[in-house]
Amino acid sequence: MKNKKLHGNVRDAAFSILWAVENKQAYSNLLLHQTIESYGISAKNRGLLTEITYGTLQHQMTLDYYLEPYLKGKIEPWVKTLLRMSLYQIVYLDRIPSHAVVHEAVEIAKRRGHGGVASLVNGVLRSVQRSGVRSFNTIADPIEKISIETSHPAWMIKRWAEQFGLEKTREMALENNKIPSQTVRVNTVRATVEEAIEMLESEGLEAVPSKIIPECLVVTGGQPARTATFEKGFITIQDESSMLPSYALQLEPGMKVLDMCAAPGGKSTHIAEKLNNEGILYSMDLHPHKVKLIKESADRLGHTVIETDVGDGKKSVERFGKEQFDRVLVDAPCSGLGVIKRKPDIKYTKKEEDFSRLQEIQIELLDQAAQLLKPDGILVYSTCTVDNMENRGTAERFLKEHPDMEKIQVSLPEALGIKHTGFVQVFPQDFGSDGFFIAAFRKSAVVE
């Protein structure tokens, strides 16, 4: 394939991203920002580029199912990527005329391939236009049907169905293909929610309070990260679900707190706000470049309580000593199945064998956290995934291995409407946010 990129061309840019994800296992969210710059995509076209890129990834298996009857013989992988992207626009995007999509696909095929490829692309797409796409009703197996309909691997649908039932699984998989809301957290040390709304509105964005988290705003009409309100530290970008762990910690000003897996820093800066910037918070992460992101966020928001620390959470007792902290947050490395809406590539890169390896890491981190905690201190374990092995399974195993730790009620905003038990699983469809799990434990003052 010849690589002739066309400056400013949205579809050529989208194809470049999709082919890199397919061919080099690149991350779509990182590539998107790089491609906007390298192609010089205008502000008005960035939304379309994002929609084509993420939409094609989200519906990849469905698109392959639609294309299959029209493909005769073997075709080059890059051509299939181009066909997927083009069919996504024809099937899912009403505002783009089909003839324009076909024309652009043929032009990309000519630039990157040759006349024969262009003819093939033209023929396949025009055949789909004439005859339409096939129904899912011919698929008898319910797991396979949900898998193809929602474009999630069959093993993932089967695993979720066994854990949560078919209906909840289908709801979750459909929710994962929706466009996520833009949410920001107001830096309550510097501004009230009302003041932040006024600031954003003065910059042309619309902001409304979240129905769940008091300091959260849902923002539309622009990019909050490009506003002066963001640059001056009055808001930060964060998903609603990931604001819940800071509530579960039951923080009070003056406490000594450890955020063990802190990058990129959203939860750390939220903790600092809950501490009212009084006390000390160690924000630890394994990678220096990620710790730098935490420091940059803390500086922008004006949080002097945060001490960044490069280190391995699995060796944190060696670093800090036992029984040093009033509160410890372990927002553990996980499979990330709760954030598929934001990172659709996760669906195709994760494997079922990943879960047991991840649980071992999670247990190691929790074991360290238990030792770091003062008697009567609170440990919160959270993940951005939806899987019983990593979530409930890890929490229950931790309790069995640590008789000095007891499960306690998770302290959460009342508006959440979830029963506040010792384990809370938030599903993506609950309030349109990320899938998230939270467990809270207290260390006994005396072991019996």
* Structure confidence by residue, pLDDT tens digits, 224-242: 999 999 999 999 999 999 9
Q: Each residue of 70-120: pLDDT tens digit?
A: 998 889 999 999 999 999 999 999 888 999 999 999 999 999 887 889 999
> Dihedral angle at the C-alpha atoms of 314, 316, 322, 325, nearest 10 degrees?
-110
Q: Each residue of 396-434: pLDDT tens digit?
A: 999 999 999 999 999 999 888 766 567 999 999 999 999
DSSP of 373-413: EEEEEEEEEEES---TIIIIIHHHHHHHH-TTEEEE-----
DSSP of 118-145: HHHHHHHHHHHHHH----STT--SHHHH
pTM score, whole prediction:
0.93
Any catalytic annotation for residue 384? Answer: yes
β pairing state of 423-426 and 436-443: antiparallel
Task: Look at residue 69 in the predicted model and tell me its pLDDT.
Answer: 95
Binding-site sequence positions: 261-267, 285, 312, 331
Q: Each residue of 162-188: pLDDT tens digit?
A: 999 999 999 999 999 999 999 999 999
State the chain's maximal CA–CA distance in angstroms: 79
Phi, psi dihedral angles at 196 (to 5 degrees) = -65, -40
Q: Each residue of 261-301: pLDDT tens digit?
A: 999 999 999 999 999 999 999 999 999 999 999 999 999 99
For the chain, list the domains and their CATH numbers: 10-131 (1.10.940.10), 142-175 (no CATH), 182-237 (3.30.70.1170), 241-443 (3.40.50.150)
| Residue 297 · residue 236 · CB < 8 Å | yes
Mean pLDDT score, 11-23: 91
pLDDT surpasses 50 at 49: yes
Looking at residue 314, its amino acid is: K
Distance CA 91, CA 78 (A): 20
Binding-site sequence positions for S-adenosyl-L-methionine: 261-267, 285, 312, 331
End-to-end Cα separation, the chain, in angstroms: 69
Distance CA 176, CA 262 (A): 25
Other residues' Cβ atoms within 10 Å of the Cβ of residue 132: 10
Distance CA 350, CA 334 (A): 11
Task: Look at residue 419 in the predicted model and tell me its pLDDT.
Answer: 61
Token code pair at residue 195? 């003041």
Mean pLDDT score, 139-153: 98
Q: Which of 105, 332, 384, 412 is catalytic?
A: 384
